[in-house]
Structure 1
Amino acid sequence: MPRITCNFEVKITVSNRLIHYSILIIGLFFASCNPERRVEGSKEAVERMKSMQIKRVTSPQVVTIVDDWGERIVKQAQLDWEAQAKKPNANLSALCQLQGIAEIDSLEQLYGVQILLLGTKDMKNGQLSVKEKEVLDAYLYNAENKLPQSTNIQKLGDSVLIYNAPIAVQNMICQKCFGDDASKLGLWRVKFLKNEVIRKVDGKSLVKNKK
Structure 2
Amino acid sequence: MERRVNGSKEAVEKVKSMQIKRVTTQQVVTIVDDWGQRIVKQAQANLENSLAKSPSDAAAFCQLQKLPQIDSLEKLYTAEINLLGTKDLKNPALSAKEQEILDAYVYNAENKLSQIPNIQKLGDSALVYNAPVSLQSSICHKCFGEDATHLAVWRVKFKRSEVIRKVNAKSLQKIK
TM-score band, normalised by shorter chain:
over 0.9
Look up the match of 2:129.
163
Q: How does 1:104-123 map to 2 (within 5 A)?
A: 104-123=70-89
2:107 equivalent to 1:127: no
CA distance in 2, matches of 1:99, 1:57: 35
The offset of 1:90, in angstroms, is 4.2
Q: SS of 2:129's equivalent?
A: strand
- Work out which structure has the larger RCO, using CA pairs closer than 8 Å and 6 or more positions apart in sequence: 2
Q: SS of 1:44's equivalent?
A: helix
Look up the match of 1:74.
40
Look up the match of 1:152.
118
Larger Rg: 1
CA distance in 2, matches of 1:161, 1:116: 14
Residue deviations 1:20-42, cap 9 Å, x none?
Answer: xxxxxxxx9xx96xxxxx48622
Q: CA 1:113–1:40 in 2, change beyond 3 Å: closer, same or farther?
A: farther
Q: CA 1:161–1:180 in 2, change beyond 3 Å: closer, same or farther?
A: same
Give yes or no for contact 1:84–1:90 (8 Å, CA) kept in 2: no
CA distance in 2, matches of 1:176, 1:39: 49
Q: SS of 2:53's equivalent?
A: coil
Residue deviations 1:156-175, cap 9 Å, x none?
Answer: 11001010000001101001
Look up the match of 1:196.
162
CA distance in 1, matches of 2:5, 2:153: 40
Aligned residues: 176
Structure 1 segments, 4+ long, off by >3 Å, are: none
CA distance in 1, matches of 2:138, 2:54: 15
CA distance in 1, matches of 2:147, 2:6: 48
Give yes or no for contact 1:96–1:117 (8 Å, CA) kept in 2: yes
Q: Which moved more, 1:201-210 or 1:113-122?
A: 201-210
- Percent identical among aligned pairs is 65
Q: Which moved more, 1:81-90 or 1:148-157?
A: 81-90
| Equivalent residue for 1:58, pick from 24, 34, 48 | 24
Output the aligned Cα RMSD: 1.6
| Equivalent residue for 2:59, pick from 93, 117, 121 | 93
Look up the match of 1:3.
none
The offset of 1:99, in angstroms, is 0.5
Q: Which runs of 5+ in 2 are unaligned?
A: none
One-letter amino acid matched to 1:196: E
TM-score if structure 2 supplies the norm length? 0.95
The offset of 1:89, in angstroms, is 5.8
Q: CA 1:89–1:117 in 2, change beyond 3 Å: closer, same or farther?
A: closer
CA distance in 2, matches of 1:97, 1:115: 10
